[in-house]
Structure 1
Amino acid sequence: MELAHVAVCVSDLDRALDFYGELGFEETHRFTLGGVENVYVGKPGSDADLQLRYDPDRTTPIAPSRADTDHIAFTVDDVEATFESAIEAGAATVLEPTEIEPADAYAAFVEDPEGYTLEFYRGL
């Protein structure tokens, strides 16, 4: 069994596509079902995607909560460069690049424009 994708709701599809595009994600496919736009973005050469779900008729705010979904993690070659790219693309700093010894990782955490916490990491 392998992870295929993670789906997140977004309030502004163009903003989400711009943000993840700045991080090197490319659209892999899209469809609309029941009025909800579903756009998949991924990194070239990867089988895993991030599904961006946009419902133009949604009446409740999107309110990501770390109590329910703590973070979405991405492996990267260069934690600092990815962190800086994310900040320049509009992310907010949660934790600057640092060693996390118990996890044997070097990682940084940001909050994307929708409020989801993203982790960029590599092994030590």
Structure 2
Amino acid sequence: MIGYVTIGVSDMAKAKDFYANLLSDAGAKVLLDMGRIAFIGQSMASPMLAVCTPYNGETNQPGNGNMIALPAGSKEAVDAMYNKAIELGATCDGEPGQRIPDQFYGAYVRDPDGNKLAFFQFG
């Protein structure tokens, strides 16, 4: 249903490194790099995350209320993704934990540009 999601960044090299490393355990890598935009994912036929510098040349701004939620596959994987993101330069926006009893386990970070990410597991 989703082809790709794009987020604005200030430093393309840093953003590509952050997301390619963060998502490498899921088999993701930089698939297409066009200079001011790069697509990261498992294949061009599956959902991707794109990082880009804003087209208008102005400073990127993380959206208020916007968030990218990445399925982790297990509670342990949520913890691992959260820890890896922090090691790669993200900041905590909600430590891993059970949010809704027996339904939702999640963790939240802000990438180096302030974009909000969630790592989650239902059930």
TM-score range, shorter chain: 0.7 to 0.9
CA distance change for structure 1 residues 29 and 122 in 2, over 3 Å: closer, same or farther?
same
Identity of aligned residues (%): 28
Residue 19 (structure 1) aligned with residue 15 (structure 2): no
4+ aligned runs moved over 3 Å, structure 1: 43-46
How much has 1:43 moved relative to structure 2? 3.7
Q: Tell me the TM-score normalised to structure 1 length.
A: 0.82
Residue 29 (structure 1) aligned with residue 32 (structure 2): yes
The aligned residue for residue 69 of structure 2 is 73
Distance 2:44 2:63 in 1: 31
Unaligned regions of 5+ residues in structure 1, if any? none
Distance 1:41 1:94 in 2: 23
CA-atom RMSD, angstroms?
2.3
Distance 1:79 1:29 in 2: 27
Q: Which residue type is aligned with residue 73 of structure 1?
A: A
Count of paired positions: 116
Structure 2 SS opposite 1:73: strand
How much has 1:102 moved relative to structure 2? 7.1
